[in-house]
Amino acid sequence: MPAPHIVIAGAGIGGLAAAVALARRGFSVTVVEKRTGFGETGAGIQITPNAGHVLEALDLGLAVKRVAVSLDRLVVRRWKDGSGLAEMPMGTGPTPAPFRALRRTDLHGLLLDAARSLPGIRLVVGRGLREAAQTEDGVTATFISESGQSETVPALALVGADGLWSRTRELTGDKQPPVFTGYEAWRAMVPNGGNGASPAPEVTLHVGQGRHAVHYPVSGGRETNLVIIREATEAREGWSRDGDAALLTGHLARAEPGLRKLAAAAPQWQVWSLFDRSPAAMARGNIALLGDAAHPVLPFMAQGAALAIEDASVLAHELTAHLRQGGASAAQAALAAYAKARQDRVARVQEVSRGNGRAYHLSWPWSLARDLAMKRMGPNGMRSRNAWLYDWRQPA
């Protein structure tokens, strides 16, 4: 009997994680990427324990460890003077796992290498999803290149891992576009110099009125990933664009000296307009959504990629369990179970991320209440508050 076949639209972190998880469970997978090559835009990425355990289960734990920095704590500081407001220890909890930081391209490369090493995965580039039709046997998905060449792929299920502007989501009937938040993210990779000194293994968050910044070491401590969030009047869809450092001069004028010095050392900036979108129905018949296609998360909890990795694990688990039981509608039942298992958690992460953004950007005097609450919480209180997020594990 041939292996059950799944087609995945999108070869980002979520799509590749799903392909690897499915192939390791005996599925045949076709991954189709709209771009003409495999790659990831972005700078750094945090792998929190909820995602780290999934990567370990995919036999990628050692590979991630080789290219990542293990982080000891999160520190929250005031934008203006750098004074400490709160901190949270990392690597604690009932089943401790490291918090790690690495280049986004490094994580994508590890997943791509794993996908290429598995015989059950076929990778296709340069074709975007055009149509999908559900059939008695599953689904047929039609992909088309810019030159007009098309290919129709039959499969048991179609998984849309095609990002914020998901065509798969449109084909499920959800045509409501993403909404611009009024903010943009400026990202840079800052060299840490040749003096042999490595930055502290921690995430630093600077909070201020209408703005915040985050930075942490990557590349074995040789670089620092820096993200600055600022207000913007115009949005731009699609991939990142080059940023003019001069536009940050006024934005950083009242920042504490250490943050200004770090930003001044950035060799170049990439800018993303930040969009928000309500959670989608994560499954309709034999079509499922994953990652940003289903639930884009604002970057105020470092959970966008982590949730996509979680999705991949749960999707593979449910498909395996339901197909083992058999039945004509086993695949639809599996996708429905996947959607049910994920819907409350992803909605909660989205909402908490939005709330964090509001809290980080409070103006005086409301910022005083925020600062006092953070100080009263203490390190263990902050870790306990986030236990629901970091201590998630794939249900047995």
* CATH number of the domain to which 11 belongs: 3.50.50.60
Question: For residue 74, what pLDDT is reported?
Answer: 93
Q: How far apart are CA 123 and CA 112, in angstroms?
A: 10
SS3 of residue 312 by DSSP: helix
Token reading at 352: 């908490």
| Residue of 249, 190, 275 lying closest to 224 (CA atoms) | 190
Q: Which pLDDT tens digit goes with each residue over 182-204? A: 999 999 999 987 544 568 899 99
Question: For residue 382, what pLDDT is reported?
Answer: 86
**What is the span of the domain harbouring residue 46?**
5-69+100-177+278-357
C-alpha to C-alpha distances, 283 to 62, 240, 323, nearest whole angstrom: 33, 29, 16
CB 190 within 8 A of CB 218: no
Is 387 within the bounds of a domain? no
Number of domains in the chain: 1
Other beta carbons less than 10 A from residue 80's beta carbon? 13
Is 378 within the bounds of a domain? no
Question: For residue 46, what pLDDT is reported?
Answer: 95
Q: Structure pTM?
A: 0.94
Mean pLDDT, each 10-residue run in order, the chain (396 residues): 91 97 97 82 87 95 94 94 91 69 95 96 94 92 92 95 95 92 94 70 94 94 95 80 90 94 95 92 96 95 96 97 82 96 96 94 91 87 90 83
CB 390 within 8 A of CB 93: yes
Is 63 within the bounds of a domain? yes
Backbone angles phi, psi at 156, to 5 degrees: -70, -35
Is 161 within the bounds of a domain? yes
For the chain, percent of residues with pLDDT exceeding 70: 94
Q: Which pLDDT tens digit goes with each residue over 38-57? A: 766 668 999 999 999 999 99
Is 83 within the bounds of a domain? no
C-alpha to C-alpha distances, 385 to 56, 93, 304, 389, 391, nearest whole angstrom: 25, 12, 19, 9, 11
Is 221 within the bounds of a domain? no
Residues 6+ apart with CB under 8 A from 82: 206, 256, 257, 258, 259
Is 168 within the bounds of a domain? yes
Is 307 within the bounds of a domain? yes
